[in-house]
Structure 1
Amino acid sequence: MFQNINQETLMTLVQEYALPLFWALLILFVGRLVARGFTSMIRRAMARAKIDETLISFTTHVTYIAMLAFVFIAALGKLGVETTSFAAVLAAAGLAIGLSLQGSLSNFASGVILILFRPFKAGDFVEAGGVAGAIEEIQIFSTKIRSPDNKQIIVPNGQITSSTIVNYSAKETRRIDLVIGVSYKDDLKKVRTVLQEILANEQRVLVDPAPVIGLLELGDSSVNFAVRPWVSTGDYWPVRFDLLETIKLRFDAEGISIPFPQRDLHIVSGKVA
């Protein structure tokens, strides 16, 4: 009789606890393998499509965590845990965490937008989020920017997507805008000819689009020419620096003056007028 009771108790324990525990562990084990295999498949597919590594890592990580959460809830259901109430608790906890981290979540969402739409890439020189510099790395929550004087600036992604982005590296060519002032006494035709020769002799200035030289305005102290050559984006600053130096030296050699603001004083009866 005692042996029969023990066998019955043992069978009851096995049915009520051991089998559900076995199935729960099996679900966790198989589910983890399936999650790894599925995320590996996603990674390979995205890699073949030549998608950015940051986006691949982010997508596979989120997918893996979501699948593990589903597997964990399924395992709890096999153990007899009320998964509906458990899911509600998780949702409430997620909402509380989300409210406390809404700034970080905003940066997270902005990081996803930057990775998906790619307004810039690593190496581009941009103005974004109130700073200017070369993009070093686009992360999920922030972007690393290297300033022209070699400082590393970490800008929250939300600050970047909520402001205007100027990408100076997006196009292959850029236009240099110079304003060159000469004296009212100078020969304007000679000035134009000299400027045309300077641009023609600069090999880095593009022929197409053609450079533009035009009389911009009659200023208070000078006649101002607009000099607008086109160059490759990478040559912008070197050509700008060289053109300004060449124009000054050539004007000096040609006797063309570059005036500076000045005021004429007339003294009448001992008083300044």
Structure 2
Amino acid sequence: MNKFINEVFSKLADKKILVNFTVELIFFILKLAFCIFIYYVAIKVLKKMTPLFNLKKKEDLVVDKSLKSFIKSILNVGIHAILITICLLIMGVKESSLLAFFGTLGIGVGLALKDNLSNFAGGIIILLFKTYKVGDEVNISDEMGYIDDIDIFSTTIKTHNNDLVMIPNGMIISNKVINYTKTPIRRLKFIIGIAYDADIDVARKALEDLLRENPLVLKEPAVYSHVDSYGDSSINIALKGWTSNENYWTVYKETMNGIKKALDNVNVEIPFPQMDISIKNPKMDINLNKD
């Protein structure tokens, strides 16, 4: 009799454990489904909010493109971190355990990404001091082109060859940055070599006239030229003038295309590298010893 009663209670206990397990599993699945739903809805809302950073009208723009890109990057990382934290809390993870986990994770990530922290700080410095913005023409670390994007950790430059070059922000703030868009006008400079037997004044006038006659070149400051250096095969003339930033490359290409024709019209030669050899002892005695 006792044995039978024990078997009955044993079976009931097993059923109770099974029921409890089933209930807990159902609650776990419901919590997981709820977390996925919240995450899905939040991401959808975030995507809907993204166009607010891409307003077309100038009067609607609160921040420039550079700041918008930076803010979007931070929001993207921050919102994902918050959503993951909320989901873990819903799943039943204790706050103390979560804080301890994130504290340990933060130390580990900080040590592993210490260089990226300097890049993050560099991005903030770039935006605060307005070193450049999206669309500016710059020269950074010998990479010349237009700022395409400013991210949390890096800046992307689109070169004149249409290549996209990513440079860490930490490297940028520790190197020289040339921003050609900061001022409304930009100086043109050409170095042209002429033959040593050419008339320097005639060559200078022809070059100055070529640049001066371009309607996109500014009258003030005036176009001028001078001897820049004496090379091995040529006298190098520096031709200088000024134009607006937006017209710089147009004027540059037009001038480069016209330089040879302008000098040909006044019979001034553009020399190629050459070398004069002088023999001081023309007479040479050669003794051939024959066995």
**TM-score, normalised on structure 2?**
0.61
Which of 41, 49, 53 is the aligned partner of 2:68? 53
Measured against aligned partners, the alpha-carbon deviations of 1:201-244 in whole angstroms (never above 9, x if no partner) come to: 11111111112212233444333322111112222233222223
**1:143–1:157: 8 Å Cα contact kept in structure 2?**
yes
**2:184–2:244: 8 Å Cα contact kept in structure 1?**
yes
1:192 counterpart residue number: 204
Which of 115, 120, 134 is the aligned partner of 1:122? 134
- Report deviation, 1:157: 2.0
**Match status 1:253 vs 2:268:** no
**Match status 1:242 vs 2:254:** yes
- Report deviation, 1:247: 2.2
Which of 133, 136, 151 is the aligned partner of 1:139? 151
**Match status 1:201 vs 2:213:** yes
- Report deviation, 1:138: 0.8
Question: Which runs of structure 2 are paired with 1:164-179 in the superposition (5 Å)?
Answer: 164-179=176-191
Q: Which amino acid aligns with 2:283?
A: S
Structure 1 residues 49 and 177: CA distance shift in structure 2, 3 A: same
Structure 1 residues 82 and 133: CA distance shift in structure 2, 3 A: closer
Partner Cα separation in structure 2 for residue 253 and residue 58 of structure 1: 57
**2:203–2:266: 8 Å Cα contact kept in structure 1?**
no
2:120 counterpart residue number: 108
SS in 2 for 1:177: strand
Structure 1 residues 220 and 145: CA distance shift in structure 2, 3 A: closer
Structure 1 residues 106 and 223: CA distance shift in structure 2, 3 A: closer
Partner Cα separation in structure 1 for residue 106 and residue 190 of structure 2: 56
Partner Cα separation in structure 2 for residue 97 and residue 190 of structure 1: 67
Partner Cα separation in structure 2 for residue 149 and residue 63 of structure 1: 35
Partner Cα separation in structure 2 for residue 99 and residue 214 of structure 1: 56
Which of 255, 258, 269 is the aligned partner of 2:283? 269
1:181 counterpart residue number: 193
**1:183–1:223: 8 Å Cα contact kept in structure 2?**
yes
Partner Cα separation in structure 2 for residue 270 and residue 242 of structure 1: 54
SS in 1 for 2:276: coil
SS in 2 for 1:149: coil
SS in 1 for 2:204: helix
Structure 1 residues 113 and 255: CA distance shift in structure 2, 3 A: same
Partner Cα separation in structure 2 for residue 247 and residue 94 of structure 1: 61
**TM-score, normalised on structure 1?**
0.65
Structure 1 residues 64 and 250: CA distance shift in structure 2, 3 A: closer
Structure 1 residues 99 and 228: CA distance shift in structure 2, 3 A: same
**2:70–2:152: 8 Å Cα contact kept in structure 1?**
no
Q: Which runs of 5 or more residues in structure 1 are unaligned? A: 1-42, 69-74, 76-80
Identity of aligned residues (%): 35
Measured against aligned partners, the alpha-carbon deviations of 1:253-272 in whole angstroms (never above 9, x if no partner) come to: 2211222332223452369x
**Match status 1:149 vs 2:158:** no
- Superposed CA RMSD: 3.8
Deviates more, 1:232-241 or 1:136-145: 232-241
Q: Which amino acid aligns with 1:252?
A: D
2:223 counterpart residue number: 211
Moved over 4 A (4+): 55-68, 85-93
**1:126–1:134: 8 Å Cα contact kept in structure 2?**
yes
1:5 counterpart residue number: none
Q: How many residues align?
A: 223
Deviates more, 1:253-262 or 1:125-134: 125-134
1:222 counterpart residue number: 234
Structure 1 residues 100 and 212: CA distance shift in structure 2, 3 A: same
SS in 2 for 1:251: helix
Partner Cα separation in structure 2 for residue 120 and residue 161 of structure 1: 11
SS in 1 for 2:243: strand
